[in-house]
Chain A
Amino acid sequence: MTPSAAPIQPTAGRRFAAWLHARPRVQLRLLLAGPWVWMVLVYLGSLAILLLNAFWEKDAFSGQVIPFTWTLDAFETIFTVDVYRTIAIRTISVAVLVTLTDIALGFPIAYYMARVASPRRRRLLVVAVLMPLWASYLVKIYAWRAILQGNGLVDSILAPLGVEGPGLTEVAGSWLVLSYLWLPYMILPIYAGLERIPNSLLEASSDLGARSWRTFRRVVLPLALPAVVAGSIFTFSLSLGDYITPALVSNTKFIGNVIYDNSTLGSLPIAAAYSLLPIVIMVVYLLIARRFGAFASL
């Protein structure tokens, strides 16, 4: 027999563990301290500072914000100058359009992957959809720039037909490229959602006399809805905030461009005030999405 049967001396770590064990509140506070400081203090605190800047005056000469000098000038500008409304409507419309495009393109392929393809082909398809997701965001925009620009691929295909390509000016370029960029973000949640639907439900539906289309409409669609909403969070929000795609594949401005341009060269209060628009839209969107159970499908 080995002499390991001697009583274990409680080390400092063990004593601390025992002390903690009796105090669940202290455990909880220790667990939450880091995440709380980071997310609430650093992140929400930053948003709060940005919000304050929307109400602060800007020095007419230096362009610097003077803290704690209150004014509603930035909001007045945003609400009275037409350009800001035009850009907001344009951005939201494109974001909605991109989301609908991605649902239209993504749902059928996700359905095929989840319910029609053989298991082997399904695995291959998941990898095939994942690959472009991981390929760099900028690389993909850049590739479209190359395809769309004058004398690019689109032009060389259209030239024999006597048609000129859209080039890099139309807002359609942003719609096309944003739809392309976020498509995998739509396909994958829908695929996961459809895959989770148990076959027994579909069999029950057909046993009760429902034809395929009816089963699809009454059983599959409602069950897939949270996943579609989850996907739409990404496609909508990413389109709403993007300023690089509109700048690189079209010559139109989006909400993101206004915020970016004003934060670097223009007026920080305007950038801050304008930021409120996507913040409010996304918070409302998230609250609705959460009611649909979309958070569980993320």
Chain B
Amino acid sequence: MTESPLVRVALRVFSGGVLVFLYLPLVVLAVYAFNPSRTLAWPPTGFTLNWFTQAAANPRIIEAFWNSILAGVGATAVALILGTLAALAVQRFEFFGKETISFIVILPIALPGVVTGVALSTTFQTVGIDFGLATIIIGHATFCVVIAYNNVIARLRRLPRSPEEASADLGADSFTTFRRITLPGMRTALLSGALLAFALSFDEVIVTNFTAGPGTETIPLWILGAIQRPNELPVVNVVALVLILLSVLPVYLAQRISEEAGGIAR
């Protein structure tokens, strides 16, 4: 279909406007990170790097950062294993309830986080599980499973079965075939699933708020608390800027992985 030049120009201008909308808040925050004033009044009053040194020396921020990483790694590992197992079962077997699996794994991410959060927190209390990093990981893994599942099942559908059959014909047992043929075929799907799951966990605050308990703080929980403490606002600006800059990393890695996957698949 050929759009008229007028439509093309209109689309270009509109898209530019949407991009400005998407980036405006991020730019504003970046500016505030260098603002010597403690308030968020506009315009900024000058330039300082003072808040960066304060943020780097804050032990609570550093601990929260590590907790976020540990929770992310734990949740990602669990989600990858569970999602891959479910995807293998759905792709390779016929069984009762097969259609329901895609529905059940999507529920934790489609139902509002607050519901998942209350449900898990009520259950932990009822069963008598202590809140902490482990409960955070359980919560995060639950809504990350769908990401691993979707990535792996999409890849399994596209992977030809002939190399696996050849491997079996050549005398490899099913574990060896899985390790040497199937797993390498799923590699990029697992990588991009892991990346997405980790980022989702790293950023999650709604379920975390319910499953963390009083002792364990992640970066989003720290920010949530600090936003309400006027004294810490300048440091929040710095942490926010660092998080925005860090988000370049997953985007870059995801692009690299999808390029590599494109090379294998086609």
- Are A and B bound to each other? yes
- Rounded to whole angstroms, the CA-CA distance of A156 and B44 in the bound complex is 11
Q: Which of B3, B88, B203 contacts A136 (CB 8 A)?
A: B203
Is the Cβ of A50 less than 8 Å from the Cβ of B220?
no
Interface size class of B (residues with CB under 8 A): 35 or more
Interface size class of A (residues with CB under 8 A): 35 or more
Chain A positions 252 through 295: 1 when the CB is less than 8 Å from some CB of chain B, otherwise 0: 00011001100100001001100100110011011000100001
Contact segment of B52-60, B97-105, B180-188: B97-105
Question: Does B48 sit at the interface, judged by CB under 8 A?
Answer: no
Tell me the minimal C-beta distance from B220 to chain A in angstroms: 5
- Rounded to whole angstroms, the CA-CA distance of A117 and B7 in the bound complex is 13
Is the Cβ of A142 less than 8 Å from the Cβ of B103?
no
Q: Which of A31, A116, A134 contacts B199 (CB 8 A)?
A: A134
Tell me the minimal C-beta distance from A193 to chain B in angstroms: 15
Do A279 and B25 contact each other (CB < 8 Å), given the known contacts A34-B82, A38-B82, A212-B4? no
Do A244 and B206 contact each other (CB < 8 Å), given the known contacts A127-B251, A135-B243, A136-B243? yes
Tell me the minimal C-beta distance from B152 to chain A in angstroms: 12
Contact segment of A10-18, A71-79, A82-90, A221-229: A10-18
Do A38 and B26 contact each other (CB < 8 Å), given the known contacts A116-B11, A259-B115, A278-B115? no
Do A295 and B106 contact each other (CB < 8 Å), given the known contacts A112-B15, A131-B251, A151-B41? yes
Most chain B beta carbons < 10 A, residue from A21, A43, A108, A282: A43
Is the Cβ of B86 less than 8 Å from the Cβ of A32?
yes
Question: Does A113 sit at the interface, judged by CB under 8 A?
Answer: yes
Is the Cβ of B123 less than 8 Å from the Cβ of A137?
no
Give the nearest-CB partner of A36 in chain B.
B86
Tell me the minimal C-beta distance from A236 to chain B in angstroms: 9
Residues of B within 8 A of A169 (CB): none
Chain A positions 97 through 115: 1 when the CB is less than 8 Å from some CB of chain B, otherwise 0: 0000000011011011101
Tell me the minimal C-beta distance from B251 to chain A in angstroms: 5
Question: Does A172 sit at the interface, judged by CB under 8 A?
Answer: no
Tell me the minimal C-beta distance from B241 to chain A in angstroms: 9
Residues of A within 8 A of B93 (CB): 24, 27-28, 31
Q: Which of B14, B43, B106 contacts A108 (CB 8 A)?
A: B14
Is the Cβ of A139 less than 8 Å from the Cβ of B240?
yes
Question: Does B49 sit at the interface, judged by CB under 8 A?
Answer: no
Residues of A within 8 A of B78 (CB): 38
Is the Cβ of A127 less than 8 Å from the Cβ of B119?
no
> Chain A: interface secondary structure?
helix
Give residues 45-60 of A contacting B (CB, 8 Å): 45-47, 49-50, 53
Question: Does A93 sit at the interface, judged by CB under 8 A?
Answer: no
8 tightest Cβ-Cβ pairs between the two chains A and B: A241-B112, A143-B25, A17-B173, A134-B247, A46-B119, A35-B86, A31-B89, A46-B123
* 27 A–B pairs (Cβ distance < 8 Å), ordered by A: A28-B89, A35-B145, A39-B86, A39-B142, A43-B119, A105-B21, A108-B14, A136-B219, A136-B243, A136-B247, A138-B220, A139-B223, A145-B227, A146-B32, A149-B40, A180-B25, A216-B1, A233-B110, A241-B111, A244-B205, A244-B224, A260-B114, A260-B209, A279-B115, A283-B111, A286-B110, A295-B102
* Apart from A17-B176, A286-B103: 4 A-B pairs, beta carbons within 8 A: A46-B119, A135-B247, A206-B1, A240-B112
Residues of A within 8 A of B (CB): 8, 13-14, 17-18, 20-21, 24, 27-28, 31-32, 34-35, 38-40, 42-47, 49-50, 53, 67, 105-106, 108-109, 111-113, 115-116, 125, 127-132, 134-140, 142-147, 149, 151-153, 155-156, 180, 183-184, 187, 202, 205-206, 212, 215-216, 220, 233, 237-238, 240-244, 248, 255-256, 259-260, 263, 268, 271-272, 275, 278-279, 282-283, 285-286, 290, 295, 298
